[in-house]
Amino acid sequence: MSDNTFGKIFQVTTFGESHGAAIGAVVDGMPAGVEIDTDFIQRELDRRRPGAGAAGSTARKESDTAEILSGVFEGKSTGTPIAMLIRNSDQHSSDYGELKDLFRPGHADWGFHAKYGFRDHRGGGRSSGRETACRVAAGALAKLFLKSISNITISAFAAEIGGVKAIDLDMDEISRNPLRTPDAGAVPAMLKRIEECRMAQESCGGIVECRISGVPAGWGEPVFDKLDALLAHAIVSLGAVKGFSVGSGFDAARTAGSVNNSDPEAAGGIRGGISDGEKIVFRAAVKPTPSISQEQLMPGTDGQLHKFAIKGRHDVCIVPRIVPVVEAMAALVLADCALRQRCARV
């Protein structure tokens, strides 16, 4: 129930399985009068597309074209729901037939089976990373709305890949390299690490950082829907994310109160759950892709363990492709907060 809808006023509902007819998103709550730049939506989708980013990406070739079905008239949002449809074109279901009765490690396979009694096993079905394309399309609408009312900029990037950290951060560098990292100097070591993984039939993870400027003080709610709580919900709802932190994050656990209080970056732009007008900074820990091509042991519906090598095309490192998804989720949270803030005062 309602698992497929995110947000309270600016709401997105996504649907679709990896190897079904189509995936899509319905955005309800977009205010009327926002200019809908369809090229921008497509560019955002292109950033997430398999093969768009990096050495680490899958070879699946999907155009991922979003068709807008409703809610836009003469180039502007009408206030009614904006439905976007992305057809699945390159499905290769046959690659997955052998996995029908197996539960891949690190995936939702077993959980789906336990929850629903059966599942669309093709390519991960509803749990495929492909679902995030819908989030990116919806996030693009959120960005267009935010742009129409503010000067907010949302920049996510690979802060760490396979243990290699970005040290010298140059935000302009992010879009110049396929890894979406702001440290040009770290790129060779990161690429080397990814290549090593590929050769070893391995995968690796990393850390995505997101920096948001231009958010006015006062956004976010003071109790359950703290701005950082909403961001945590949004980011941890991405399948590969195992951790979330804001500002000083886990380091705060080891810092003295006076130091934490006076460090302008410790709060991460959010105090008591409400934006304070400073730059918002949060991080997400991304696990290594669980789909690796080496043989692994996996349980089956027969209750036995099976030795099996997953075929198909999989990212060695999902970090560069998750960067635009993180931005999209942040944009969805902020669009919702912006509208909720309109109701805060008489």
- What residues from 255 to 294 belong to the interface with a copy of itself (CB under 8 A)? 255-258, 260-262, 266-268, 271-277, 285-290, 292, 294
Which of 39, 117, 172, 304 is the binder for a copy of itself (CB under 8 A)?
117
Restricted to residues 198-217, the positions that interact with a copy of itself (CB under 8 A) are: 200, 202-207, 216-217
Residue for token digits 């010298």?
A: 168
> Which region among 46-54, 157-165, 174-182, 183-191 touches a copy of itself (by CB under 8 A)?
157-165
Restricted to residues 36-95, the positions that interact with a copy of itself (CB under 8 A) are: 67-71, 73, 76-83, 85
* 3-class DSSP state of 297: strand
Residue 172 vs 321, nearer CB to a copy of itself: 321
> Which region among 37-45, 48-56, 144-152, 167-175 touches a copy of itself (by CB under 8 A)?
144-152
What is d(CA 265, CA 76) in angstroms, rounded to the nearest whole number?
A: 38
Rg (CA), the chain: 20
C-alpha count within 13 angstroms, C-beta hemisphere, residue 82:
34
Min dist CB 181 to a copy of itself, Å, is 14
Using the rule CB under 8 A, is 177 a contact of a copy of itself? no
What is d(CA 204, CA 195) in angstroms, rounded to the nearest whole number?
A: 10
- DSSP assignment of 133-179, as one string? HHHHHHHHHHHHHHHHH---EEEEEEEEETTEEP-S--GGGGGGSTT
> Which region among 30-38, 39-47, 48-56, 301-309 touches a copy of itself (by CB under 8 A)?
30-38
Q: How many residues does the chain have?
A: 346
What is d(CA 240, CA 269) in angstroms, rounded to the nearest whole number?
A: 25
Min dist CB 326 to a copy of itself, Å, is 14
Residue 99 vs 232, nearer CB to a copy of itself: 232
Residues 6+ apart with CB under 8 A from 236: 244, 284
Which of 39, 172, 199, 253 is the binder for a copy of itself (CB under 8 A)?
253
C-alpha count within 13 angstroms, C-beta hemisphere, residue 170:
11
* 3-class DSSP state of 197: helix
Min dist CB 56 to a copy of itself, Å, is 12
> Which region among 49-57, 89-97, 113-121, 174-182 touches a copy of itself (by CB under 8 A)?
113-121
Residues 6+ apart with CB under 8 A from 170: 182, 183, 184
Residue 172 vs 272, nearer CB to a copy of itself: 272
Strands 274-275 and 280-286: unpaired
Using the rule CB under 8 A, is 163 a contact of a copy of itself? yes
Min dist CB 201 to a copy of itself, Å, is 8
Restricted to residues 287-346, the positions that interact with a copy of itself (CB under 8 A) are: 287-290, 292, 294, 296-297, 339-346
Min dist CB 39 to a copy of itself, Å, is 18
The token pair at 184 is 């040009």
> Which region among 17-25, 51-59, 89-97, 184-192 touches a copy of itself (by CB under 8 A)?
17-25
Min dist CB 101 to a copy of itself, Å, is 14
At 235, which helix (H) or strand (E)? helix 227-236
Residue 174 vs 235, nearer CB to a copy of itself: 235
Please give the angle made by the CA atoms of 150, 153 and 133, to the nearest 5 degrees. Answer: 110
Residues 6+ apart with CB under 8 A from 259: 266
Using the rule CB under 8 A, is 13 a contact of a copy of itself? yes
Q: Which amino acid is at 345?
A: R
Q: How many chain residues bind a copy of itself (CB under 8 A)?
A: 145
